[in-house]
Structure 1
């Protein structure tokens, strides 16, 4: 039992030393990094109107994010304090203007910038406090051992250690006792004090109530859009069945009734009507197949998203190159949403871009299904209300996905779609 108790005491003492060292590291690195990044970020953002900041700001803000993410990492590893990072995705290949303003419009960017002054002040104090509790007692012990004589001679008066004015050996021993008390306090308080630093960091870097409320609003809106889209899709299916296949089947039934009456009286006429009924059945079957393909293409169900996109490309009148890198299949709803989104974007490229070549890239990385459609057309595509891309944006929003469009006048046009998902 004594051995176990001694082991726990040594482990706790070592934990206090480690907490002090980690706090000192975080405090020193945090102070230097926060000051440098804050000053650089402010200067770079102020230079955005003159153009220089458009190039430098994304690099600086990327550094700020990396610095904040390092703090998130050590908070989780050292104290188990999880600080979520909620940065909006930036499409690959985005031009400097788009990249700059997407980062500046991200609330997480301003939360990071607001955290830097806090980190260089209150954050620095809370970080170095565990180290101070470990190191400050050493001065008290040194005073008790005779250092007080040198310091009082040098200052010509009392030397203050905490609240103890050291002027002789008696008060020096009192300073040593205070140092011992602080050392005992560090044994108990250093790890919790380091955790306080990371809790302060989480309070500033963590998501705010306003952001969570905005998130709820977006989810409510996308859910309403999904319900409206589903109702519209059901009406379209009903209309297509009523005006197409159903009408042909009714006409075929009437022809068969006429054939039954004419088969003995006028075989030639019955034969003619039989051929017309056969053509009606073929047309009805074709319409039903097209309708089923519009609901959920068989190739998508049987072969997956990659082959379904390749099948789409084969039907295009443009030269199309498809690159697929998927280690598995996303869930069926996500797969269908991605397929129809790609279909709509490709249709827009054929109708409006004047392109001669299209590239489609489909891959999955870091929990995101990313699809990029690029064409060499005239450009000028916009994500405005009423365009086909608006419908694609709504479809992806149902799955917490995003759509980004880069289409300068003169081209090329790049449409990037991202949907968070895991592959089976």
Structure 2
């Protein structure tokens, strides 16, 4: 072999680095894309025809009593068609698109339904998708069908490029793409959490009244009734005095239970004096020595104060029951428009959101008001819980009902 006929080192490197000419594999995903593109035309044709008839009739009859209801009903149909297309794209193209939030009028009745339906942005986006889909479906059907016969080697690439455009259309027009839609879904979930929490609190109050103060008042009434009968019979011995004394004790216990129950609903010290003294009172009742530091120059909204108070209350109960700690601390401060709470103890740690200590419920409650809940509790301790709430400053009327800002308590 002559020198000129020998392969050079550059040729050898080129043989190693350059891959063989790519070939398009006909995978199952490719066949699903082809089927999707071919099915676009019949579905798009039917949907476009319905859309044109609906728009023509609805707009033409809008001056009559049936025009606007017809438009609203057509928009509802567009929503249904969008749901069908999302399911088809999910099954054939692997596009995972969230479902938009359902349409719920604020009030019952015909006119709330009509107005909500006419201004539904999701339905109008679905109508736009239906309108622009027919020319695209005609193009994709023609190209895909022709490639089946004359462009077989490039059909997989053609199917992928065309179906990628469909993927973009589905994501852009059939998904809850705007922040408002996502926020609506979050608020609906939060509403369920708030409703469940309120129902649980009502059941707790009912149970406490039935098993506590109500039972004591019933016993008190029976005791006083027996004492009254003895007095009417002319008996004034020591047994009557004992009955009256026992009834007096029951009255004091019932009053104490009612005070505790009222404190559990909304403590008067929180309303009158703010978070500083209220949290100081909580710390004083904790079985673990606890210090508090509340650094606030003004008071947040009453609802935020209440959530902050009961969050700290439940966390300190967990410290008393589960932590085996020697000391704990509570700090509260404000950062811009957020209220920050940090509760820390030097106990054994190992707390978890799913550990049955109520942490998950606290996280859900804070999340329902756009708050955050962060738990840091390694085994061996320490445990640190950080909660964050929106500030939502008090109105002038709310500020007038209190006596000043929450002071630093110790």
Match of 1:367 among 328, 337, 348: 337
Question: For residues 210 and 376 of structure 1, do their structure 2 counterparts lie closer, same or farther at Cα, with a shift above 3 Å needed?
Answer: farther
Q: What is residue 306 of structure 1 aligned with on the other side?
A: 276
Q: What is residue 251 of structure 1 aligned with on the other side?
A: 219
Q: Tell me whether 1:238 sits opposite 2:214 in the alignment.
A: no
Contact kept? 1:313, 1:322, Cα under 8 Å: yes
Output the CA distance in 1 between the equivalents of 2:317 and 2:335: 26
Q: How does 1:205-220 map to 2 (within 5 A)?
A: 209=177, 212-220=180-188
Deviation at 1:304, TM superposition (A): 0.8
Runs of 4+ in structure 1 off by over 6 angstroms are none
Contact kept? 2:283, 2:290, Cα under 8 Å: yes
Contact kept? 1:319, 1:356, Cα under 8 Å: yes
Match of 1:316 among 282, 286, 306: 286
Match of 1:221 among 179, 186, 189: 189
State the Cα RMSD in Å.
Answer: 1.7
Q: Deviations over 1:196-229 (max 9, x none)?
A: xxxxxxxxxxxx8265444322221121111111
Q: Tell me whether 1:421 sits opposite 2:391 in the alignment.
A: yes
Deviation at 1:347, TM superposition (A): 1.4
Deviation at 1:404, TM superposition (A): 0.6
Q: What is residue 265 of structure 1 aligned with on the other side?
A: 235
How many residues end up aligned between the 2 structures? 217
Match of 1:346 among 316, 325, 337: 316
Q: What is residue 186 of structure 1 aligned with on the other side?
A: none
Q: What is residue 251 of structure 2 aligned with on the other side?
A: 281
More displaced, 367-376 or 313-322? 313-322
Question: For residues 397 and 262 of structure 1, do their structure 2 counterparts lie closer, same or farther at Cα, with a shift above 3 Å needed?
Answer: same
Deviation at 1:385, TM superposition (A): 6.7
Match of 1:408 among 364, 378, 398: 378
More displaced, 350-359 or 270-279? 350-359
Question: For residues 422 and 384 of structure 1, do their structure 2 counterparts lie closer, same or farther at Cα, with a shift above 3 Å needed?
Answer: same
Q: How does 1:8-407 map to 2 (within 5 A)?
A: 209=177, 212-263=180-231, 264-384=234-354, 386-407=356-377
Output the CA distance in 2 between the equivalents of 1:254 and 1:284: 14
Deviation at 1:365, TM superposition (A): 1.5
Question: For residues 387 and 214 of structure 1, do their structure 2 counterparts lie closer, same or farther at Cα, with a shift above 3 Å needed?
Answer: farther
Q: Deviations over 1:266-300 (max 9, x none)?
A: 43221111111111111111111111111111211
Q: Secondary structure at the match of 1:360?
A: strand
Which sections of structure 2, spanning at least 5 residues, go unmatched? 1-175, 395-410
Contact kept? 2:329, 2:344, Cα under 8 Å: yes
Output the CA distance in 1 between the equivalents of 2:291 and 2:306: 21
Q: What is residue 90 of structure 1 aligned with on the other side?
A: none
Output the CA distance in 1 between the equivalents of 2:356 and 2:366: 16
